Amino acid sequence: MLVMMGVPYNSAEALQVAEDLMRFISQKATEASEELAKDRGVFPAFTGSIYDAPDMPRVRNATRTTIAPTGTLSMIAGCSSGIEPMFALSYTKTVLDGTPFVESILTLKRRRKKAAFTLTT
């Protein structure tokens, strides 16, 4: 995402984008989990958990911000598997069945020209 936005990984802007994005994701995930808890109840181990306190949200999901894709899934989806900078402009990965899978940063260059991203909080 940072590459597509033209934001350097080691910049203050990248840190701010990451903070804003994760705050937004966390907020929306908690809101959705609270709605689910109203219909289905809190998660089974809620009692005695860190959420079992008056000032904590009553949520359906104990964990809400595990974000896919990772590894091979991210290659298939054509996106980064995390926040770390890309380690190569092009590489070949051998997937489970032995099939070579070629990944290239050129895909991101084409997408960057087509995409415009805005973050709304």
* 6-22 pLDDT, tens digit each: 888 889 999 999 999 99
Is 6 inside a domain boundary?
yes
**Does residue 121 lie in a domain region?**
no
Residue 119 lies in a domain: no
What pTM was estimated for this model as a whole? Answer: 0.63
| pLDDT at position 83 | 66
Residue bearing the bigger pLDDT, 57 or 118: 57
Computed over every residue of the chain, the mean pLDDT equals: 81
Residue 120 lies in a domain: no
DSSP assignment string, the chain? -HHHHT--TTSHHHHHHHHHHHHHHHHHHHHHHHHHHHHH-S-TT-TTSTT-STTS---S-S--------HHHHHHHTS-SSSSPPS-SEEEEE-TTS-EEEEETHHHHHHHHH-------
Q: Between 63 and 90, name the one with better pLDDT.
A: 63
**How many domains does one find in the chain?**
1
Q: How many CB atoms lie within 10 A of CB 77?
A: 11
Q: What's the domain range around 29?
A: 2-114
